[in-house]
Chains A and B, each alone.
Chain A
Amino acid sequence: MTRRGRAWVVGGVLVAALLILVVISSSIGQFHTNTADVIASLRRVLIEGSEPTANRVDATLWTIRFPRTILGILVGAALAVAGTVMQGLFANPLAEPSIIGVSSGASVGATIVIVFGISAVYPNALPAAAFAGAVVVTALVWMFARVGGKAVVLTLVLTGIAINAIAGAATSFLIFVGDTSSREQVIFWQMGTLSSAAWHEVVIVSIVFTAGFIGSMLILRQLDVLALGDKSAVASGVNVERLRVVAIVLVCLLTGVAVAFAGVIAFVGLIVPHALRLMVGPSHRFLVPLSALGGGLLLGIADIAARTIIPFADLPVGVFTALAGGPLFLVLLRRTLVKTGA
């Protein structure tokens, strides 16, 4: 089968899986419901136009579970698209958004508002500060990596390592000076969780995700050409310098909004594009849209696992993605190494 054909098949399977996921994920929780309840409630509210809070089932589903499920899918999609753009930008399958400081910056921002008690008074300050931290630290990495108007991949990585270390130290220091309850809050935030999902968060994430996704769809062909190396990409008529700025802004937006509302969730941005590349090839015109679906599915599944593995406990979903993603990544890495004989 051609790569195009395979991409359509994979896309179809992912869409179907996502729909099933929404129903299953929303049927699981402390208040007992089954998938038939979920479908019935969807029909009542969406088709018959009944109030989403008309009865206990509908209220539970529409105020707690649907926002959580949808937020999880959106966050996963944003992280995976950001990872795909990042790997294309660095022409390296091991690149991850955290390299350019998005996650460590968000951590600094979140920790500041938690430790100084701001988020206790203004709950919205937490995602705002996390997002601002992501943007500021990414901008710092970009600025320090520029030499003579250019930022090449290697200097970006090295600058990222240095700035990530500084941001990490700043976070540690803030945790040290904070009191016990804020320490606990920071640590849980850093593990990544969807437990506070609400509709207004879904709206914000879906707006930013849509913008980031459209932006990514506009640079597909140019991302492909970057695989030839900077020299050949420039000779092919790609404005590499501008592309790099655009791509980093997109990665920062997508990852920043995901981290802001769900905390640090590892490996989705790394593993999803990697796995899809094995299935449909490296062309970004397939990878970007499919990684949105795949990322949503992966985080959706991880969230189900996080809620059900330990009864009556909401395991941080970031712990689960790292726990499952790490070994999977090792397997993929070994396979690649064996195949290329490197």
Chain B
Amino acid sequence: MKPALTLKDVTVSIGGKKIIESVSLELHPGEVTAIIGPNGAGKSTLLSAASGHLRPTSGLVLLGEKPTANYKPAHAARIRAVMAQESGVAFSFTVREVVAMGRTPWVKEKANDDAAINEALDLTDIQHLAERDVTTLSGGERQRTALARVIAQATPVNEASVVLLDEPTSAMDVAHAEATLRLARDLAARGAAVGVVLHDLDAAASYADRLVLMDRGQIRAVGSVREVATAELLSQVYSTEVEVFEFGGRLRVSPLRASHGQIA
């Protein structure tokens, strides 16, 4: 199957420093690709380049088969929805108003906005917050609002859709974090190519079809979970002991931890 989003030999330099160098990557319809790696490895820069926020210094980003530069911004936004790391909103919009902003690229399509907005509110479990002032929400609630906006933007999901999520669960409790990752799987099941930056290696191993391991601005390894999530590779890239083991029929990834105070 043809990739929905392709990065070809992408380099991004800021102030003369190469943040990512010669990165090539394909996101395929129906797949969740998790991008992992230590702080400063270039994960967010990779996602920014893929999302059109950062123009690559060299290299090419293709959406479908065409370079992103060939799209009008609104057209690209109907295909590709992006959740950035920052989920703050400057003014006191209600949650529903913020989610409705996800429909901005669909204004001229006379699309079924209300249905898309309500579905997004339901999927992210924030229907009860719909009339709340978004600036009064907790960090996790704000993240769910941003996620709902992105889902509203991605509706209707099809085989051309690309959904990019930059650390979407960083402020969420465990229940909502799991629900968010299940949602990412569900988007992929409906045809979307999903790219998600994650710090939780175990979650990445559990929910992703493919892993991309970044290290110092380059892709260190890319492939299936079993190919990339090895104790040797992760321990080396993260400079700390990481365990990988089978448990309950799937691969578990965890940093090696001492059992402080648990012995008795």
Binding site for B on A (CB under 8 A): 3, 91-93, 221-222, 224-232, 234-239, 277, 281-283, 340
Across chains A and B, the number of contacting residue pairs, with CB separation under 8 Å, is 81
CB <8 Å contact, B102 and A236: yes
Q: Return chain A residues, CB-CB under 8 Å to B76.
A: 237
Task: Kindly state whether residue B135 has any CB partner on chain A within 8 Å.
Answer: yes
State A216–B76 Cα separation when bound (angstroms).
25
Query: Helix, strand, loop or mixed for chain B's interface?
Result: helix
State A124–B86 Cα separation when bound (angstroms).
50
CB <8 Å contact, B93 and A231: no
CB <8 Å contact, A235 and B53: yes
Task: Kindly state whether residue B225 has any CB partner on chain A within 8 Å.
Answer: no
CB <8 Å contact, B107 and A221: yes
| Chain B residues bordering chain A, tally (CB within 8 A) | 33
CB <8 Å contact, B93 and A281: yes
Closest CB in chain B relative to A152 CB, distance in Å: 12
CB <8 Å contact, A91 and B53: no
State which of B77-85, B120-128, B204-212 sits at the interface with chain A.
B77-85
Residue in B closest to A339 when the chains form the complex, CB atoms: B136
Q: Return chain A residues, CB-CB under 8 Å to B115.
A: none
From A92, A222, A231, contact of B84 by CB (8 A): A231
Task: Kindly state whether residue B263 has any CB partner on chain A within 8 Å.
Answer: no
CB <8 Å contact, B91 and A236: no
Chain B CB count within 10 A is highest, among A225, A226, A234, A238, for: A234
CB <8 Å contact, A235 and B51: yes
Closest CB in chain A relative to B188 CB, distance in Å: 19
Produce 1/0 per residue, B47-89, CB < 8 A to A: 0100111000000000000000000011111101110101011
CB <8 Å contact, B91 and A239: no
State A92–B48 Cα separation when bound (angstroms).
24
State A241–B77 Cα separation when bound (angstroms).
16
Find residues 81-105 in chain B having any chain A CB closer than 8 Å to their own CB.
Answer: 81-82, 84, 86, 88-94, 97-98, 101-102, 104-105
CB <8 Å contact, B104 and A225: yes
CB <8 Å contact, B146 and A92: no
Q: Return chain B residues, CB-CB under 8 Å to A236.
A: 77, 101-102, 104-105, 153
From A228, A231, A234, A340, contact of B135 by CB (8 A): A340
State A282–B135 Cα separation when bound (angstroms).
12
From A232, A238, A283, A340, contact of B73 by CB (8 A): A238
Closest CB in chain B relative to A253 CB, distance in Å: 24
Residue in B closest to A88 when the chains form the complex, CB atoms: B91
Find residues 138-168 in chain B having any chain A CB closer than 8 Å to their own CB.
Answer: 146, 149, 153
CB <8 Å contact, B53 and A225: no
